[in-house]
Structures are given as structure tokens and as C-alpha cells.
Amino acid sequence: MKKIVVSGIRPTGNLHLGNYFGAVRNFIRMQEEYNCYFFIADYHSLTTHPHPEHLRQNVKQILATYIACGLDPEKVALYAQSDLPETAELYLFMNMNAYLGELERCTSFKDKARQNPNNVNAGLLTYPTLMATDILIHHADLVPVGKDQEQHLEMTRVFAQRFNSLYGQDYFKLPQAFSYGGDLVKIPGLDGSGKMGKSESGNNAIFLTDTDDVIRKKIMRATTDSGPVEMNQEKPEVIANLFLLVKTLCAPEVYDAFDQAYKNCSIRYGDLKKQLAEDTVKFIAPLRNKIEAILADDAYLEKVRRQGMEKAHESAAKTVREVRGIIGF
Ligand code: TRP
């Protein structure tokens, strides 16, 4: 039996290079070895993004991006969380066994509550029980997630274990975090911050849908410093981050040449950025074109979504039926 993998991504915007080199590249490898369920967490996005205008478009956008990046809908179940009504029912059961104290102590809850004190809704509080539902509904063995999601996964194991002991059955598996070790590259942002992510301005991230000109503009504006002053000096964080982008997107010789230039203080950041911009354009342009072509084919996208839903429904319906039985309905 192949191991079961589940992972979700919230549709709060387009995917960027950080998503690609973090999650998506791992997904592409995993689809060859495991029984994968990759979904778009559109219920989860309601905790912070409750409006319909972007929801529909973002779900389609991510679906198209996944396919363009190489996820094969014949191999994995690609679906939207909201297409699986069983999710709502299992979520209800999960909430009966989650304690207020542990939910309030969750780091992501505290962060969100601090960032947005006027919208501390119950969905935000129970975000971990919904995520546990996504995972347990398919009896996942492995969940490929980044560091920031490890606490949620730990809570998933707590909920699973608690359910098992409450009902005296070894029903839910305890899922483990998964990554291909050293291959998990954390892509830094263009503003010198440690992580590429969605920012207010959108200038910190390069999206897989950015046009050539936008990519060039963003990279040319990336944060740098005034340059090395001593031979062989250590790179400050902003510069080390920029070099990490070069390492990820440019040829090894190119990286080495700029690294050498940094060491002997002859580097010109403008040249480095130009090279990085051209190599990034070369990487993204074909992907962007594929995404656009897939997005233009509504019938195909609908078919993929339905096919994913059917596959996910099969395993979800079985779980919910069994859980109802265990609880005594
Ligand atoms: N919480 C995840 C994130 O913000 C998204 C998510 C929802 C997820 N449900 C999941 C990830 C289940 C893995 C498994 O990125």
C-alpha cells in the first residue's frame, strides 16, 4: 500500500517562487511515490478573506498553476476543500474534542488575533481543527508542510490521539511532517526579509504570473547595501538572501562569478540583478504561458476539479461514515 499524503494551500493570492521551490516542487516528486491529495483550502481562507470576488478566481488560478507546474490530475487528487461537504461534518466532530485553551495557545491564532483584533472569529480559533480534518479525513501518513505549520500538525496528532482514546479505538493514524530534507529551499523575499511572501505592495514576491517587465522591475528594486568594503567579508543577510535567489535561478558558474566578485569587492549589484532578472524571466515565462493556456480552458479545469473531488469524496465519505458509527450515530 502506498503511503497517503495530504496537503493544502489557501487561495489568498497567486503562487510565487517561494511556493514553487518550497511546496510545489515537493508535491511533484511525491506524486510519483505516494497516494496524494492536494487541495485548495478555500474554507480556511474565509477566516481572513471572506469575500467572494477573489475566491473563485484564486481557486482556478491555483488549480491551473499546479497543473502547469507538473502536477498530474491523473496521479493525484486535485480538489477544492469546499467541494468536499464531508469536511464540514468531520470538522464539527473534531471541534467537540478540541479545548479552548489549546486553541488559544496556538501561535498562528495569537498572531492573527494580534494582526487583526477586529476579526478574531471562531473560525480563526478553530483553524487547527479544520486543518486536522483535512488531514485525518484521508488518513494521511505524511503531510508536506513548512516550519510554520508544524504546530498545526502536532495539534492534529493530539486531536487524533484524543479521539482514539475517547472511543477506545485505534482509528486515526498519527500523521508525520514530511520534506525531502536538504531539498527544501527557503526562498527569501526581495525586500531583504527572510521569506518570500505576499506583502501589502506585492513587491517582496515574484509571482508565477508576473509579466517579464514586472519581474525585471521587482528584481531591479530589490534591497541591497552599499557593497563590500573588505576582501572576503561575510555577506550581511540582505545580500546573502539575494545570492540565494541567484543560486536558485542562475547557472552555478554565474553564481560563482558573482560570489568571487563579492569577495574581491568588484561586484556591481546592478549587474547581478540584471542577470538574476533575465534568468528569472527565462524560468517564469514558459510557466506563466502554460498557466494562462490552462486558465483559458474552463471545461478542462472543471473536469480536473470534478475528477479530484470524486477521488477525494470516496475516501472522505468512508471516513465520515465510520466516524459517525464510532461516535454512535
Ligand atoms: N494551513 C495551511 C497553510 O496555511 C494550509 C492547510 C490547510 C493545510 N489544511 C491543510 C496544509 C492540511 C496541509 C494539510 O499553509
Give me the architecture of the 212-291 domain, per CATH: Orthogonal Bundle (1.10)
Nearest CA owner, ligand 1 atom 11 = 8
pLDDT in tens, the chain (329 residues): 899 999 999 998 889 999 999 889 999 999 999 999 999 999 999 998 888 877 888 999 999 999 999 999 999 999 999 999 999 999 999 999 999 999 999 999 999 999 999 999 999 999 999 999 999 999 999 999 888 899 999 999 999 999 999 999 999 999 999 977 655 567 899 987 778 887 767 789 999 999 999 999 999 999 999 999 999 999 999 999 999 999 999 999 999 999 999 999 999 999 999 999 999 999 999 999 999 999 999 999 999 999 999 999 999 999 999 999 999 99
- Residue to substitute in 152, 153, 179 for testing ligand 1 pocket (most ligand atoms within 8 angstroms of CB): 152
Q: Please state the pTM of the whole predicted model.
A: 0.92
Give me the DSSP letters along 134-145: HHHTTT-SEE--
Q: What is the C-alpha separation between 81 and 175, in angstroms, rounded?
A: 19
Give me the DSSP letters along 209-275: T--HHHHHHHHHT----S---STTPPPPHHHHHHHHHHHHHS-HHHHHHHHHHHHTT---HHHHHHH
Give me the architecture of the 3-186+298-327 domain, per CATH: 3-Layer(aba) Sandwich (3.40)
Catalytic residue among 198, 247, 290, 318: 198
CB distance 305 to ligand 1 below 6 Å: no
Catalytic residue among 75, 173, 186, 195: 195
Residue-range domain boundaries for the chain: 3-186+298-327, 212-291
